[in-house]
Amino acid sequence: MIKIILLIILSLPLTIIILHTIIRLIRFFYKFPMPQFLANIIDNPLRRKIQPPKETGLRHGIKSGMNVLEVGPGNGRYTVEAAKIVGPNGRITTIDIENKMIERVIKRMETENIANINAEVANVYKLPYQDCSFDLIYMIAVFNEIPEQEKALTEFHRVLKPNGLLVFSELFMDPDYPLSKTLIKKVQSFPFKLKEKIGNFFYYTLKFEKI
Ligand SMILES: C[S@@+](CC[C@H](N)C(=O)[O-])C[C@H]1O[C@@H](n2cnc3c(N)ncnc32)[C@H](O)[C@@H]1O
């Protein structure tokens, strides 16, 4: 009996690694938005230890009074913390391609009594905002879900103010996790310059400046 239990315990990490690899392979060929029912599963205590919501906002360089665009909020955990940092003189606009995700964010805003968030359904390929609108754009575990990333980068560049910041946070646990050097190369093929890299192989934040 002990042998069987030991075998199960020892084979668990291997099973996770195999499953993770299979999902990564599928996601490499077929990119699509994360199903909305997973929003609360990825918002778990381990994840919040690695990417604490408030600290992540500060790590992104969000400051009081900023006008910020978030892409792909999931259940809105990081959105409300960002809204608290920008405060009453700032604003968070958050967009998601999935209506159900936006409904989750609105529900969280109501529960936490947060008023400085605009949550709307939109696609990164055609952002419904004027040129030079935002001080900062951020996304957490989103970019590799977007099939036509060049279109997205063009739009991010358009809606950012001069010298505005484009920020990506990534986590190894995410089956869409990109290597930081791959992401840096892709983003810097557009008029963006790497300003700061925080973290390590397993989780990192990259901050680019619009040039
Ligand atoms: C893996 S989830 C990450 C959620 C949240 N940022 C987090 O870290 O918990 C990716 C999110 O990006 C959204 N998304 C994917 N493609 C998108 C697109 N083209 N435009 C806008 N949102 C998109 C998905 O619907 C989903 O909410």
123 ligand 1 Cβ < 6 A: yes
Look at residue 5 in the predicted model and tell me its pLDDT.
Answer: 83
- Residues 114, 206, single domain; the answer is yes
The CATH number given to whatever domain includes residue 130 is 3.40.50.150
- Residues 102, 173, single domain; the answer is yes
Look at residue 104 in the predicted model and tell me its pLDDT.
Answer: 95
Per the structure, the count of domains in the chain is: 2
Of 113, 76, 110, the residue nearest 96 (C-alpha):
76
The strand ranges marked E within 38-133 are 67-71, 91-96, 117-121
Look at residue 25 in the predicted model and tell me its pLDDT.
Answer: 83
70 ligand 1 Cβ < 6 A: no
- Read off the amino acid at residue 108: R
Among 36, 75, 80, 145, which is best to mutate for testing ligand 1, by the most ligand atoms less than 8 A from CB?
Answer: 145
Give the predicted TM-score (pTM) of the model: 0.90
- Residues 14, 110, single domain; the answer is no
**Residue in the structure block whose two tokens are 């909305």:** 36
- Residues 2, 17, single domain; the answer is yes
Distance from first CA to last CA of the chain, Å, rounded? 63
Looking at the DSSP bridge assignments, the partners of residue 169 are 140, 205
Question: If you measure from the C-alpha of residue 77 to the centroid of ligand 1, how many angstroms do you get, rounded to a whole number?
Answer: 13
- Residues 8, 79, single domain; the answer is no
Question: Is residue 60 within 8 Å of 207, Cβ to Cβ?
Answer: yes
- Residues 152, 185, single domain; the answer is yes
- Residues 20, 49, single domain; the answer is no
Residue nearest to atom 20 of ligand 1 (CA): 123
- Supply the Cα-derived Rg of the chain in whole angstroms: 18
Pairing of strands 67-71, 203-210: unpaired
- Residues 99, 12, single domain; the answer is no
Average pLDDT per 10 consecutive residues for the chain, totaling 211 residues: 81 82 80 78 86 94 98 96 97 96 96 96 97 98 95 98 98 92 98 97 97 94
C-alpha dihedral, 27 to 31 to 35 to 36, nearest 10°:
130
Alpha carbons within 13 A on the beta-carbon side of 152: 22
- Residues 1, 49, single domain; the answer is no
What is the extent of the structural domain holding 17?
1-30
Look at residue 85 in the predicted model and tell me its pLDDT.
Answer: 98
Question: Is residue 141 within 8 Å of 170, Cβ to Cβ?
Answer: yes
Burial class (CB in 10 A: 0-12, 13-18, 19+), 105: buried
Look at residue 1 in the predicted model and tell me its pLDDT.
Answer: 78
